[in-house]
C-alpha cells in the first residue's frame, strides 16, 4: 500500500477533510458547500455554469448544494432577465457576513498540514498538474474507446 500514489492521495484527502469538518460545522457548511461559497466570495455573483467549471462539478451535483445554501440563507438563485436559461447565484447579506467567520479556515488548514509556504506551493502545483494530466489521459481514453 505504501507504494500506491492513489492511496497516498486518498489518505491525505481524508485527513485534510477531517481537519476541515469541525471548522466548517461552526459555519453550518459541508466541505463542498464551503467550496461554492469560496468561489462566490472570490468572484461575486456568478452563473451556475461558471461555478460548475471552477469546482469541476456537474450540474446534478452542484444544484443540491446551491439549494441547501439557499435554504441556509447564504445565497440567492435568480434567472437572468436577458437569458432565462442562465441562473445567477448571488451572495445574500448573511452569505457575505459568513466570509468574515470563515476567514481563518485556510490559515488553520495550512497550520494543520505543517508545510512551509514553499512546500505548500509545490504541492498545490503538483496536484494541479496531476489533475490536468489525468483529465487529459481520461479524455484521450474516452475518445479512443469511442472511435473503436
Each domain of the chain, given as residue ranges in start order, spans 5-100, 115-148
Q: What are phi and psi of 56, to 5 degrees?
A: 55, 45
Q: What is the pLDDT of residues 49-94, one digit of tens each?
A: 999 999 999 999 999 999 999 999 999 999 887 877 889 999 999 9
5-100, what's its fold?
Answer: Arc Repressor Mutant, subunit A (1.10.10)
Q: What is the pLDDT of residues 136-145, one digit of tens each?
A: 999 998 887 7
Total-model pTM: 0.86
Mean pLDDT of all residues belonging to the chain: 93
Amino acid at each position: 500500500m505504501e507504494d500506491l500514489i492513489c492511496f497516498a492521495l486518498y489518505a491525505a484527502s481524508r485527513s485534510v477533510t477531517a481537519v476541515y469538518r469541525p471548522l466548517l460545522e461552526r459555519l453550518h457548511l459541508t466541505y463542498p458547500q464551503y467550496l461554492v461559497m469560496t468561489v462566490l466570495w472570490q468572484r461575486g455573483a456568478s452563473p451556475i455554469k461558471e461555478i460548475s467549471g471552477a469546482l469541476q462539478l456537474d450540474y446534478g451535483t452542484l444544484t443540491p448544494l446551491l439549494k441547501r445554501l439557499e435554504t441556509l440563507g447564504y445565497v440567492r438563485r435568480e434567472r437572468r432577465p436577458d437569458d432565462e436559461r442562465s441562473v445567477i447565484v448571488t451572495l445574500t447579506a448573511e452569505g457575505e457576513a459568513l466570509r468574515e467567520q470563515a476567514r481563518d479556515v485556510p490559515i488553520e488548514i495550512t497550520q494543520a498540514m505543517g508545510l512551509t509556504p514553499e512546500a505548500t506551493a509545490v504541492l498545490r502545483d503538483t496536484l494541479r498538474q496531476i489533475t490536468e494530466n489525468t483529465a487529459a489521459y481520461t479524455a484521450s481514453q474516452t475518445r479512443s474507446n469511442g472511435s473503436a
